[in-house]
Amino acid sequence: MKPCIQIQNLNAWYGDEQALKDISADIPNRGITVIIGPSGCGKTTLLRSINRIIEETDGVRVTGRILLDGVDVYGRGVDVTEVRTRMGLLAPKPSPLPMSIYDNVAYGRRIHGLQRLDKGNGRNLDRIVERYLRAAGLWDEVKDRLWAPASRLSTGQQQRLCLARALAVEPEVLLCDEPTSALDVSVQAQVLNLIRYLQRKKNLTYLFITHDLHVIRHIADWIIVMYLGKEVEAGPIEAVFERPRHPYTEALLAAIPKADPGLRRERILLEGDVPSPIDPPSGCRFHTRCPEVQAVCRKMEPEIREFDGRRAACHLIEVR
């Protein structure tokens, strides 16, 4: 599958603290790539580096390249507004703007200058707002109160409104940072199904962060596993689920409950706490918790290598 986004030797620091180290990954076009890993491993930093939202945080420094359709988004002369128009962001908590439901959806087209193009092309803003409220499954619930404050909507409705707002600028890529984490369980499935449906219908490229391991198999086409600021494994979801090549990936997948006893993996107990990303261990960053640790793991950091249709950073990749 042709990559839509290519990440090359990406590093990020908050002041003196390194949050990402030498991340290189290809994000397949027109599919859903899920990023998983423990809290503090750099998932959100990676996501927010891709559309340069990270630059709004004081003291941040980013090196490396992120190519969108072959163009480095950090390149000299690149229009940051255009980058963010092409790559929408859906945050963990619903964050409607302090304005009406209608204006929330119209906001992006106005601030990015798309409304002028709409007029030139004979496109009606009212119809565009309706189209994306319908796409987000919200139109029938709000069509009679479009000018009411968005804050009056329920939490689930607010998140669907934020989805409509993100889609209304017609991005090529949608960055989803745990978009269902603040929702009730009853609403989570509705929003996830909607996100998957819209991805297929509009052929979008999604990057999706989640802590919910149940979500992965439900929506993912491709998976990236991170640990302490590093990518440790990446590949097609079916291949990684069938035979993970990194012991951390294997431990994560073994923790997913399965109804069929014949499909269950033996639970892998990882001892100890996740080390601080500020002061990671020498050698392989996972060696302090790895049940398969070897002497070389404590001394030498493994390179991420291509093997059997995926990438993994493990000294034992060939024998696992």
- Name the 3-class secondary structure at 172: coil
Do 132 and 249 fall into the same domain?
Answer: no
Do 48 and 196 fall into the same domain?
Answer: yes
Do 15 and 147 fall into the same domain?
Answer: yes
CATH code of 137's domain: 3.40.50.300
Helices (H), the chain: 43-50, 80-86, 101-111, 114-120, 125-135, 139-142, 155-168, 185-202, 213-219, 237-242, 247-254, 295-299
Q: By C-alpha distance, which of 119, 118, 184 is closest to 154?
A: 184
Rounded CA-CA distance 89/85 in Å is 10
Count of Cβ atoms closer than 10 Å to residue 81 Cβ: 11
Q: By C-alpha distance, which of 266, 236, 191, 288 is closest to 34?
A: 236
Query: Within a domain: residue 280?
Result: yes
Do 135 and 82 fall into the same domain?
Answer: yes
Which of 220, 253, 271 is the last residue before a domain boundary?
220
Rounded CA-CA distance 9/27 in Å is 14
Query: Within a domain: residue 320?
Result: no
pLDDT tens track, the chain, 320 positions? 567 899 999 999 999 999 999 999 999 999 999 999 998 999 999 999 999 999 999 999 999 999 998 999 999 999 998 898 899 999 888 899 999 999 999 998 888 766 655 555 546 888 899 999 999 999 999 999 999 999 999 999 999 999 999 999 889 999 999 988 878 887 888 888 888 888 888 889 999 998 888 788 778 999 999 999 999 999 999 999 999 999 999 999 888 766 555 555 667 778 888 888 888 999 999 999 999 999 999 999 999 999 888 999 999 998 77
Rounded CA-CA distance 169/17 in Å is 34
Do 7 and 108 fall into the same domain?
Answer: yes
Q: Which two tokens stand for residue 27?
A: 């994000």
Do 170 and 265 fall into the same domain?
Answer: no
Do 136 and 174 fall into the same domain?
Answer: yes
pLDDT confidence of residue 122: 46
Q: Which two tokens stand for residue 6?
A: 């290519």
Query: Within a domain: residue 318?
Result: no
pLDDT confidence of residue 269: 75
Q: By C-alpha distance, which of 87, 67, 31 is closest to 204?
A: 31
Do 169 and 203 fall into the same domain?
Answer: yes
Radius of gyration of the chain (CA): 21
Rounded CA-CA distance 73/50 in Å is 8
pLDDT confidence of residue 2: 66
Do 279 and 141 fall into the same domain?
Answer: no
DSSP 8-state class, residue 56 = G
Query: Within a domain: residue 230?
Result: no
Do 80 and 178 fall into the same domain?
Answer: yes
Which of 220, 253, 277 is the last residue before a domain boundary?
220
Which of 220, 254, 277 is the last residue before a domain boundary?
220
Query: Within a domain: residue 175?
Result: yes
Count of Cβ atoms closer than 10 Å to residue 62 Cβ: 18
Rounded CA-CA distance 297/315 in Å is 7
Question: Which one-letter amino acid corresponds to residue 50?
Answer: I
Query: Within a domain: residue 133?
Result: yes
pLDDT confidence of residue 257: 66
Do 126 and 37 fall into the same domain?
Answer: yes
Structural domain of 281: 244-312
State the total domains in the chain: 2
Query: Within a domain: residue 148?
Result: yes
Do 158 and 257 fall into the same domain?
Answer: no
Query: Within a domain: residue 107?
Result: yes
- Bridge partners of 130, per DSSP, are none
CB 35 within 8 A of CB 176: no
